[in-house]
Amino acid sequence: MKQISHDRPLVIKVGGRFFEELQESESGANVLLNTLAILHKKGRPIVIVHGGGVQVLDRLTKLGFTSERKNGLRVTPDEHMPIVTSVLAGELNKGLVAQFAIVGVNAVGISLADGDIAKCTEHPDNIGAVGEVHAKSSVLIDTLLSNNMLTVVASIGKDDNGRLYNVNADHAAICIASLLQTGLYFFADVEGVLDANKNNIAELNASNAQQLIADGVITDGMIVKVQAALFAANKIKQAVTIAACKHASNILLEDKLIGTKILSHQ
């Protein structure tokens, strides 16, 4: 078996737009997919954490359910969870494992509910089966990575009573990065965080971010993403990158400064 490198694992977070891009591109031609395949074949341990809010909303709507967001998070009644789980931990997770096979990568799909990775508690905002995630054990992920398996993690968690939770995928990625104490990238459908003139901000710290939020420049889901990235940067003691999937090769293979680096306090 090929030995993986001694580099720290790379944690990548993607959302629903990434899966849309997979469908839009020719088989095996997606930029991020191929970039991760190159890194994996070079021996870099990789964990990709995914959400899929677009796909979940589409499925809920088709089945006649009404879904809404509160403070950037999707309200998830317990009756929605079988659908949310099937889309995230089933269809999208296993579909991504299959896509990696096309580019010659041996991947395995799991969720936060597997292997005692994390424990969830109910979010305090009274938004149903939405979980706040607490990291517990890296044993399962360490085992997979040590056997050269790229690991795909769905943002579905559980509590000690067996209740399943919908976890914000940004927070799920933070959980994994903190367990592995390693770098984190948020790849999305945005170039990065934009200023009031719609220009990309190269670097952002906590005070700058809070001012932009107060001024209404950073809004909606980007507030959650920036706050999550700030929390992550402080937890893993290094910058967290927010960037577009199409720039993955430039960022990960060529080490170019593209997107927005969210800085830690240190």
Kindly list the catalytic residues: 13, 16, 53, 170, 225
Cα distance between residue 52 and residue 183, in whole Å: 22
Question: Any bridge partners for residue 11, and if so which?
Answer: 47, 184
HSE toward the beta carbon, residue 32, CA cutoff 13 A = 25
What distance lies between CA 262 and its chain's CA centroid?
Answer: 15
Q: Which residues are CB-neighbours of 153 under 8 A, at least 6 positions away?
A: 47, 48, 49, 50, 109, 110, 111, 112, 117, 141, 172, 176
For residue 136, which phi and psi values (nearest 5 degrees)?
-125, -60
d(CA 155, CA 113): 9
DSSP string, 192-260: S-B-TTSPBPSEE-HHHHHHHHHTTSS-HHHHHHHHHHHHHHHHHTS-EEEEEGGGHHHHHTS----SE
Q: How many angstroms separate the CA atoms of 151 and 143, rounded?
A: 10
Quote the tokens at residue 129: 């089966």
